[in-house]
Structure 1
């Protein structure tokens, strides 16, 4: 059962299943592991890189009670399942490495059974020692004003963590399920409902993680709502902006021909624009056949451009967040389509030229619903929801020849604030600079260091001088007032 299928149990989520693809040479794809139930089942979110240099992820099902599994992947070694004792059901949204050293995530169900015997969902914390704590259980009824079913991942803001619940809130909206909420939660578990979707005009069923823009506003998508002429009366979904004080602006309502049913969330590119995908729609619209989906760019002001409309042979039904890699191009996955109709990995340039990097064949996985991670070694890592030896999903990596770099735990901060930097080969580091300004630093381990934003620093890229050479950050660090 995919993430969308899980949503389908609670509200009528529509799946839009959907020509010549460009295939790139010299790509090295390797299947790393098969999930078998005991070590996990159905990974649905991108991996994260921990401060110890290992990669971490969760599966939506599997483990001793089929509630999900936390796993660790050490590059170059085998997969290891870790305890998720104490976590509730179905962590679809993946993990966030936060600045306090812990990881945070959400579960679709579990917790309070006020809305459903399976539970209304939770927010949880995982320590570096893999101890799990539930920070919040959704819906204390009546009204479920905090939301139900936090299906997406979390994002860290200056004052806490932010996330989405795909239903709950105003139960008169799409009665009796509710149209969803945006929430903020502190490291102490104190949750505030930042916005409640009111009706089908401002959107309903918010999906995917939020993204914190460089303007400090939150940006996200709803799977439905907006333009009621598109799949009446449900609408084809929206893109929205939300201020830290909870004022929502609908930036775009999809019409069908420019896409419909966005489920992946957005990412902000180096050019300041936002990039995303829709699972359905395209030139043929959303009616009847649904369409195989699109890739789009949208400015912070709401001007949307369709960069690519899928044609099945080059992929179909993308449902993962895009990743802008260190070569400046965007990488993502499509659930279906490709040479074997088992899904694809694709690359698209900022101006919309798409190439198929890999077509899954079932043995190496199928239904890749999760996005990709580019580790600081330059290699991509990802997963498939199904396929492999036991048809419970796979883990893979993809080497396209990109070199090592450094990444931030949080890519913004004030002068005097200390932030974490991920990478490798940090032992013996001699200098760290922010846009050319030297910064004080402390090497914590070979894969993690801390640096302080220096006086006079301006927004720009960070460099770390190690015995093996100088590493540059994959994104700019933003100095904020």
Structure 2
């Protein structure tokens, strides 16, 4: 790491805006896109407005793409733990972890129109399912299918046939992986150039989280652990990696941990680099001061090559997060 900065006068998730838990992405137009876990204008507006999707310009101007639960779209769900994905068609896709027709969340599409954005609900996650509540951000393969992570520690595939979307469970992690934190996982998945899926689990291993690889996800998947957090192999490597891993242009993976690092226990989290062979290097330990605390969303690599991310809190002002930049 060469530098880390809090964005000056860009955007604060304070006031009626809360919980940037999913990762930001940079769209093809150069703007940033994401979701909040709850909040919205005039929050709580009858207790129904819980989260929104937003567009953020590099200069800091924020506009709403969709406000969940505002009544403009029936049964649109709420509480999006994951961020947005810009699909191969240019539209934006995401999930909510609750609400919808069955109460277990939705899979949605946001399409730009002349006066803003239109939301379309593509799939309602079923009631009583053993893979409820999608928690992670989505990733898309070259065939247009989407993959995500659920609160039941399962990897699922969302595919379309004849205009109808269906869900298939590809893999469910056992208790050795999930540990006590699995229901809170907001970690998404990432494809490498060989078609393997990579991700992070906030529990498992030493109960401090693991980074993992899923080989052959479309066939008979096999899972290997790339790194056990706080197993003693790397000092102050953090714990509870909520956020997704990103494969950067240098061929390494980058991510964040929610807690741990060089500050006293439980710590305020870290930003780390991991090679494809599992070698981890810590780039930054959050202090809970101006740099923020407890990142949940991971990082992205923008068009300029820098890494960008968000923290959930500032220690002295709970609920107020920061946006940060790391120059590799």
What is the TM-score with the length of structure 1 in the denominator? 0.54
Give the match for residue 36 of structure 1: 14
Tell me if structure 2 keeps the 8 A contact 1:381–1:395.
no
Alpha-carbon offset, residue 41 of structure 1: 0.8
Give the match for residue 98 of structure 1: 87
Q: Unpaired runs of 5+ in structure 1? A: 1-23, 168-178, 204-221, 226-234, 239-255, 402-481
Counterparts of residues 349-388 of structure 1 (less than 5 Å): 349-363=275-289, 364-387=291-314
Tell me if structure 2 keeps the 8 A contact 1:96–1:154.
yes
Counterparts of residues 111-150 of structure 1 (less than 5 Å): 111-112=100-101, 114=102, 119-128=103-112, 129-139=116-126, 144=128, 148-150=132-134
CA 1:307 to 1:44, structure 2 compared with 1: closer, same or farther past 3 Å?
A: same
CA 1:29 to 1:349, structure 2 compared with 1: closer, same or farther past 3 Å?
A: farther
Of the three residues 93, 109, 112, the one matched with 2:98 is 109
Tell me if structure 2 keeps the 8 A contact 1:148–1:166.
yes
Q: Tell me which of the two structures has the higher relative contact order, counting C-alpha pairs closer than 8 angstroms and 6 or more residues apart.
A: 2
Give the match for residue 45 of structure 1: 22
Counterparts of residues 195-344 of structure 1 (less than 5 Å): 195=169, 203=172, 222=173, 225=174, 235-237=175-177, 263=185, 264-270=187-193, 274-282=197-205, 285=206, 290=207, 292-297=208-213, 299-300=215-216, 302=222, 304=224, 306-307=226-227, 309-310=229-230, 311=232, 313-340=236-263, 341-344=267-270
Separation in structure 2 between the aligned mates of residue 269 and residue 183 of structure 1, nearest angstrom: 17
CA 1:189 to 1:88, structure 2 compared with 1: closer, same or farther past 3 Å?
A: farther
Tell me if structure 1 keeps the 8 A contact 2:138–2:189.
no
How many residue pairs get matched? 296
Alpha-carbon offset, residue 379 of structure 1: 1.4
Give the match for residue 206 of structure 1: none
Tell me if structure 1 keeps the 8 A contact 2:23–2:300.
yes
CA 1:120 to 1:78, structure 2 compared with 1: closer, same or farther past 3 Å?
A: same
Separation in structure 2 between the aligned mates of residue 194 and residue 270 of structure 1, nearest angstrom: 23
CA 1:88 to 1:145, structure 2 compared with 1: closer, same or farther past 3 Å?
A: closer
CA 1:72 to 1:390, structure 2 compared with 1: closer, same or farther past 3 Å?
A: farther
CA RMSD of aligned residues (A): 3.4
Separation in structure 2 between the aligned mates of residue 189 and residue 384 of structure 1, nearest angstrom: 38
Counterparts of residues 60-71 of structure 1 (less than 5 Å): 60-64=37-41, 65=44, 66-71=49-54
